[in-house]
Structure 1
Amino acid sequence: MDFSALFSAVFISCFVFSLTVYSVYLGFGPGSEELRDPFEEHED
């Protein structure tokens, strides 16, 4: 396998993984108490 293809695959994989971890941190981390739930606000 070519070195540039390996580097690109590793870089893209790390980027997607870090984006996923950051999204989970934003959703469930310390600041999650301040998030609003639009479905709870408009319950009948």
Structure 2
Amino acid sequence: MESATVLIITICAFLIVITGFSVYTSFGPPSKELSDPFEDHED
């Protein structure tokens, strides 16, 4: 394989993993531990 093809596949795989982890953290079970700063400081 060309080195550029390997680099592009590696970058795409990294972006997919980061996106999946972000969605899991935002909407999955770990989201229960997140706090909303606007709800914490209501006036």
- TM-score normalised per structure 1: 0.83
| RMSD of aligned residue pairs (Cα, Å) | 1.3
Gaps of 5+ in 2: none
State the 4+ residue runs in structure 1 displaced beyond 2 angstroms.
Answer: none
Q: Does the residue aligned with 1:6 lie in a helix, a strand or coil?
A: helix
Gaps of 5+ in 1: none
Q: Which residue in the other structure is 1:3 paired with? A: 2
Counting aligned pairs with the same residue, the percent is: 49
Aligned length: 43
